[in-house]
Amino acid sequence: MTSLKDFSLEGKNAWITGASYGIGFNIAKAFVAAGVKNIIFNDINEAALERGLANYKEAGIENVHGYVCDVTDENAVKALVETIHKEVGNIDILVNNAGISGQKALLESYGERICKDDLEPGFFVDFFIKDMKLAYDSAKLGGLELDVLGRVIENYQKLSNEGLGRAGMQALIKHYEK
């Protein structure tokens, strides 16, 4: 059986969104225990960022890089990716942990809706595109070519261009019904 001591992330850089406290902060602590070299985190404002930096300091975690970034703003995320690459290096691990206000009610009712064959909206195409572009751009900066992911992004961008950006899985159904 494998234990945490057998699991090494030695020398890796890990970006955990919204990791000032809570689940993200605890993921960061586990990553440090597994050998992560640099913890990168962001939060929505300066006060939350300062709270996070204080939490890391109190936990004795030193190689921490905190940034203010609203992860719902695609341009802000792209700019932060570039900043991280310049200041810290490649992003080896990305954990999309940041909670996005306003989505809680949608997520809480999702299971019940699935049981009723209501897939409106399973996930938002526009959010999926943003997350996949972040992964794609980060991989490219790190020298990885992910052609398949590029094609996936292109296909989902077509759905968004067709006005289905706020639709979920049903966007594919609506697209192929045409």
Q: What is the pLDDT of residue 46?
A: 95
| Token code pair at residue 150 | 């590029």
What is the pLDDT at residue 156?
77
Note the pLDDT of residue 117. Answer: 54
Q: Which amino acid is at 50?
A: E
Mean pLDDT by 10 residues, the chain (178 residues): 64 93 90 93 93 96 95 87 95 83 46 53 63 76 75 79 71 64
